[in-house]
Structure 1
Amino acid sequence: MTNPQGVGIDQGSYEKLITEVTEWVTGPGEDWADRIEASGEVPEELWSELRERGYLSMAAPQRLGGKGLSFEQWLGLMEIFSRSHASVRMIVHVVNGTWRAMDPWATEEQRDQFVRPSVAGTKKVAFALTEPGNGTGADISCSVEREGDTYYLSGEKHLITFGVRCDYWLLAARLAGSTGHEGTVALMVPRDVPGVRVEDTSQTMGVTGTDHAHMIFDRAPVPVANRLGEEGQGLQVALGGFLLPSRVSVAMSCVGLAERAQELAYDYAERRVTFGKSLTQRQAIQFMLAENEADIEAAKQLILYAAREWEAGSPRSQALSSMAKMTAVSMLGRVTDKALQIHGGLGYWKTEKIERVYRDARAQRFEEGTNEIQKMVVFRELQKTKTR
């Protein structure tokens, strides 16, 4: 296994990148947002633009063709991208993260076949863990039977982001008849593999345009050469190097979206006049905006602390990543609710940008694990400290 963490770029180059991304998000990014909401789809041209601008290869190390940002630097950009349309954020977040699951376990041949094309944005990889009939972990039931150099894959996956338009599914399954973590395998499954039926389940409340798939496999053949790691390491591949930093990244996306909601609320309150005064002159509104500001900053600082501890290899990283995610998600719910309330009834209309922000915010409640899951992780880590 290799160390997936980037060493970072110099401060001058990073500040230029921050400026560039901010200008894109507030300019072309807003145009894309309007287009996506109007059509209900994310066109392939958006993927191409993000790829050509290098936005899909920022977090990966230079040896994989990435820009080599440190994790904390990447989070600063995630914060900005998250102020854009949720589907823009989703593309950038996923592509800049899936390499973390693949790279530590890949052979050099597999890096050339899967990892580097993913970082370059020329091949799309969808993370396929969740199943309809169980949780997301050791109880997965999607199974494989090995015959010579081929695994035959059977079972179902659902809620798979970009699972319709991807080139490969990075899929966790288990050897038929095995239980628990033992016997799990991680496979790079080609999208066009025979023996699979893909259903497009993209009609969601928010995050308009991001495709989601339900896949049903019936002895779909997958080369053993497409396995990452060894038999028995499937969940380590799926969860170990990917889920922890991804939770921190999602937490920072909550901060970015909350900042956008706060910006919209403040701007509206300044221009909205009732009984001769703007809303910003009303103490009730002042208090709501002040509470939002403190809420956002508190979550942000916990997230940055979790990021630094993860980069340092701290044993507290597991607990801190879940603390950051659950704190940020709860904060986002409070901030967007107040922001919509400040808009009054008008905020409920699709003509106001806060309406989309409010819908998109709800998706963060289950991305990379619900708050209930995060609390279980935190308590489990707490128990470890008490039994030493």
Structure 2
Amino acid sequence: MTAEQEQRFDQLLARVRSWVEGPGESWAERIEETGEVPDELWAELNDLGFLSVTAPADYGGQGLGFTRWMELMEILSRCHGSIRMIVHVVNGIWRAMDGHATEEQRKRFVIPSVTGDIKIAFTLTEPGNGTGADIKSSVVREGDTYYLSGRKHLITFGVRCDYYLLAARVEGTTGHEGTVALLVPRDAPGLRVEDTSDTMGVRGTDHASLTFERTPVPVDHRLGAEGEGLDVFLGGFLTPSRISVAMSCVGLAQRAQQLALDHARSRVTFGKTLSQRQAIQFMLAENAADIEAARQLVLHAARRFEEGADDASMQSSMAKMHAVSMLTTVTDKALQIHGGVGYWRSQTIERVYRDARAQRFEEGTNEVQKAVVFRELLRFAEVQEGTVR
């Protein structure tokens, strides 16, 4: 970055931090009270430019590099989980589409998603299946139309979106073969939407279960060719998204740590503040080290992704796996430092604790991340052996 670009980034970082610590907290309280994220919050985030940080300038975005975006995500993640979810998804989903979009699709879907004119929901997960090559939702092509049948669930923004960026397969195919990425209109015939938003944490983010019964989708709503569907989802979205979720863990852990430190400094028992007790000091010191270690691993993964490195997928899963484990430990200690009072909903740590639990399965559980890391380790070993031989 040039000196001028650094200055602009510092100003953006300051604006984000000021909003998170001010209006963001007011929004957090309102979301917890109502259980909803109103459209006016989406509009405010869009007007502030927080939903178009990563997209290119000629798309209406700010063109910020991915690693620098992670520095902003670290701050935004200290806010309410639903707010973090909005900025995370919207700043990532354009990238998944853009790599496979035609120029007409770019104008029709990608750019409007950046400018906030349309909302697009990432639609991969199915009940009874995993989130990869075993997807069962299928399409049959008749002329210029696909007819889509199947089910999806746990779809974030699945109630309020305008389109679903949906993974399916051509009927009769298996594995990666025949997978397609489709942009399915929210109001398409044969689509039933069930609101399933009543979650433990990340309150206010709407989620949906979807059922498709020969839902017509124009063939020109397909991104890329048949057989490239999972490339849109796994490479175009999941790798950077896992890094972003990992940084979300860092930001939320920092929030929990600050709440615990503030409580320890003010809470007095037997004539001493908790911060004067060695057991508490050690817990907070361990938290600080764990957070910083996770942060550096996430930033390393972000740089590898931005460089287009061959190990970006492995690094993203490593970062997510480690950061989630760190967040679990840090928030548990932070709640423990609060004692019984931290269990009450009147305390911010109670919300942070609930929101943190969701990170353990967002973009794949730790078991999934370990499988990805091992697969990549094996691949690199085989490549090295081939080189040696």
- The TM-score with structure 1 as length reference comes to 0.97
Could you say which residue in structure 1 is the equivalent of 2:165?
Answer: 170
Could you say which residue in structure 1 is the equivalent of 2:192?
Answer: 197
Would you say 1:34 and 2:39 are equivalent positions?
Answer: no
Would you say 1:319 and 2:342 are equivalent positions?
Answer: no
Root-mean-square deviation (CA, aligned residues, Å) is 1.3
8 Å CA contact 1:9, 1:69 repeated in 2 = no
Any idea what the Cα deviations from partners look like across 1:2-46, whole Å, max 9, x if unmatched?
xxxx99981000000000000000000000000000001111110
Cα 1:48/1:304, change in 2 over 3 Å? same
8 Å CA contact 1:161, 1:212 repeated in 2 = yes
Using the alignment, how far apart are the partners of 1:27 and 1:8 within structure 2?
28
Using the alignment, how far apart are the partners of 1:9 and 1:362 within structure 2?
40
Tell me how far 1:61 sits from its aligned partner.
Answer: 1.3
Off by >4 Å, runs of 4+ in structure 1: 6-9
Using the alignment, how far apart are the partners of 2:155 and 2:293 within structure 1?
32
Using the alignment, how far apart are the partners of 2:376 and 2:299 within structure 1?
20
Question: How do 1:178-193 residues align onto structure 2 when only pairs under 5 Å count?
Answer: 178-193=173-188
Could you say which residue in structure 1 is the equivalent of 2:358?
Answer: 363
Unaligned runs of 5+ in 2: none
Using the alignment, how far apart are the partners of 1:69 and 1:370 within structure 2?
29
Question: How do 1:127-166 residues align onto structure 2 when only pairs under 5 Å count?
Answer: 127-166=122-161
Question: How do 1:299-378 residues align onto structure 2 when only pairs under 5 Å count?
Answer: 299-378=294-373
Any idea what the Cα deviations from partners look like across 1:123-166, whole Å, max 9, x if unmatched?
00000000002111000000000000000000000000001100
Any idea what the Cα deviations from partners look like across 1:192-236, whole Å, max 9, x if unmatched?
001010000001100000000100000000000000000110001
Could you say which residue in structure 1 is the equivalent of 2:46?
Answer: 51
8 Å CA contact 1:8, 1:69 repeated in 2 = no
Using the alignment, how far apart are the partners of 1:9 and 1:312 within structure 2?
23
Partner-residue secondary structure (3-state), 2:99: helix
Would you say 1:25 and 2:20 are equivalent positions?
Answer: yes
Could you say which residue in structure 2 is the equivalent of 1:13?
Answer: 8
Q: Which amino acid aligns with 1:130?
A: T
Cα 1:343/1:124, change in 2 over 3 Å? same
8 Å CA contact 1:172, 1:185 repeated in 2 = yes
Using the alignment, how far apart are the partners of 1:285 and 1:191 within structure 2?
51
Q: Which amino acid aligns with 1:77?
A: L
8 Å CA contact 1:9, 1:68 repeated in 2 = no
Any idea what the Cα deviations from partners look like across 1:318-365, whole Å, max 9, x if unmatched?
111100000000000000000000000000000100000000000000
Question: Which of 92, 97, 114 is equivalent to 1:97?
Answer: 92
Q: Which amino acid aligns with 2:186?
A: R
- The TM-score with structure 2 as length reference comes to 0.97
Using the alignment, how far apart are the partners of 1:177 and 1:257 within structure 2?
44
Any idea what the Cα deviations from partners look like across 1:35-64, whole Å, max 9, x if unmatched?
000001111110010011111000111122
Any idea what the Cα deviations from partners look like across 1:162-182, whole Å, max 9, x if unmatched?
011000000000001111100
Question: Which of 225, 233, 238 is equivalent to 2:228?
Answer: 233
Tell me how far 1:385 sits from its aligned partner.
Answer: 2.4
Any idea what the Cα deviations from partners look like across 1:238-284, whole Å, max 9, x if unmatched?
11111101100000000000000000000000000011111100000
Using the alignment, how far apart are the partners of 1:312 and 1:232 within structure 2?
26
Would you say 1:384 and 2:379 are equivalent positions?
Answer: yes
8 Å CA contact 1:187, 1:228 repeated in 2 = yes
Using the alignment, how far apart are the partners of 1:21 and 1:122 within structure 2?
22
Tell me how far 1:91 sits from its aligned partner.
Answer: 0.4
Cα 1:9/1:317, change in 2 over 3 Å? farther
Would you say 1:124 and 2:119 are equivalent positions?
Answer: yes
Unaligned runs of 5+ in 1: 1-5
Could you say which residue in structure 2 is the equivalent of 1:252?
Answer: 247
